[in-house]
Chain A
Amino acid sequence: MADQPTAFERFTQGILPENPVYRQLLGLCPVLAVTNSMQGAMTMAGAVLFVLLCANVIISLIRDLLKPHLRIVIFTLTIATFVTIVDRFLAAYMYQMSKSLGPYIPLIIVNCIIICRCEVCASKQSVITAASDAVGQSLGFALALASIASVREILGTGMFFGFRVLPEMWPDWVIMVLPPGAFLTFGLLLGAVNWIVAMKKAKD
């Protein structure tokens, strides 16, 4: 396995060079849906971190037992279990947040970041590598959510994490907290990231 990335490489790649949202364009449903407030976005990022970490560790532990034609079933089974745990946990201890995130927590089951990491990393590499990969990718996901959510929440409501940052006279751009705002913000930020990457390449 000499050609496989090490644990540290997996960790750092997930954050920026292989950012799941901006570079891999994965898991865009929650990116568009829950980024109208920072609190919601960060809860979602935490939930994804928990699910991805648990799923990656379990899959990595049983990687030698996996049969090629049954692996996806096992990935989905594992992911669904941990997502259900998160969902119940939020409903019990963060009731208001669970109410505002609504169906998007159960929908983590079909978040392709997680199944992608199980397939690419956890089913081939050791537990430690898989765990650091999970943390790196989740941080990258959290970073992407935070970047979009802060633009949308500040412009849309004049607030950040529920605290007012823009003066009262700011005319809230309601469109930013509505679905079109998600597409606009994500499109512009994605464009900016691509532009920066292109600039960097040109310099090299």
Chain B
Amino acid sequence: MKPSEQTMPGDNNRISNFFIFQAWLVLLLASFFGASLAGIQLTLSPKIEANKLNETLEKVPELIFGAEAAQSFAEENRQMDIERQYIKAGNKIYSVFQAKTDDQTSGWVVKSSGQGYADKIELLVGVDAKAETISGLFILDQKETPGLGNKIMEQAWRNQFNNKSTQQPMTAVKTKASAPNEINAITGATISSKAVCGIVNQSLNNLRQPLAKALLNDQNPSDNQPNNHQEKK
């Protein structure tokens, strides 16, 4: 609207001059598009959530038994029950997957996340039943530098975490890793490497005890009856 028009009496009050009425098409389209997007979100979000959960569940056997054992496990067609739990530890709520084979807990997979070099890194850590050693690591989501930081997704690098003790925090070192809990940092991506170690350390530090306790609670019924094991034999 030109300034000269604004000063004209009467003209100013004409309903069609208000921006809100001039914008009728914008408002109409916005509500129409908004409604259709809501519909799409409602239809697709279960599928998207399922995709994320599927990826997690798919990785659970590998994270607990290692890639090769998981493969033969799948070939033998053995059943693994995966139970999802939420454990609150260290003012964070962790999504934890308890993997059971033949009614025995074979391990846990913890979903955790933290700040990486570029964006949030989301990862899965597999630990044994007593939460004493790491059995696997998988990166669910990351936006690290392609060619450098995104090497944290590579199996060779992730495998370094296997069989590490959960008692000592992991450290990423630039020189050749010598101490038991040292990880070789990726060349050119020290921050990404350290970030992954940090996320793993923090979540294990928080969850080591709750997981061990959860295992005891699970076993308690049988522990109270020592004869149970002999009867099975």
- Residue ranges of A at the interface with B (Cβ–Cβ < 8 Å): 36, 62, 65-67, 70, 73-74, 77-78, 80-81, 84-85, 88-89, 91-93, 95, 99, 102-103, 174, 177-178
Contact = CB atoms under 8 A, between A and B. Distances in A.
Which has the most chain B C-beta neighbours within 10 Å: A73, A89, A92, A93? A92
Interface residues of B, number: 24
B139 to A, nearest CB: 10
Contacts of B33: 77-78, 80-81
B44 interface: yes
Interface string B126-161: 000000000000000101011110000000000000
B51 A92 contact: yes
Contacts of A178: 145-148
Nearest to B141: A99
A88 B146 contact: no
Interface string B178-217: 0000000000000000000000000000000000000000
Given A77-B29, A84-B40, A89-B44, 18 more contacts: A62-B29, A66-B25, A70-B25, A70-B26, A73-B23, A73-B26, A74-B26, A74-B29, A78-B33, A81-B37, A84-B37, A85-B37, A88-B45, A89-B40, A92-B51, A102-B143, A103-B143, A178-B147
Contacts of A73: 23, 26
Contact of B51 (A65, A67, A91, A103): A91
Contacts of B36: 81
Contact of B48 (A66, A88, A103): A88
A70 B48 contact: no
Given A74-B25, A102-B143, A95 B55 contact: yes
A137 B48 CA distance: 31
Contacts of A36: 146
A81 B39 CA distance: 12
Contacts of B104: none
Contacts of A91: 44, 48, 51
Contacts of B30: 77
B160 to A, nearest CB: 21
Interface of B: 22-23, 25-26, 29-30, 33, 36-37, 40-41, 44-45, 47-48, 51-52, 55, 141, 143, 145-148
* The 8 A-B residue pairs with the shortest CB-CB distance in the complex, in nearest-first order: A81-B33, A92-B47, A95-B51, A92-B44, A91-B48, A178-B147, A88-B44, A92-B48
Task: Say whether chain B's binding surface is mostly helix, strand, loop, or mixed.
Answer: helix
B26 A174 contact: no
Contact of B22 (A70, A95, A102, A177): A70
Contacts of B141: 99
10 contacts: A62-B29, A70-B22, A74-B25, A74-B26, A88-B48, A92-B47, A92-B48, A92-B51, A103-B143, A174-B147
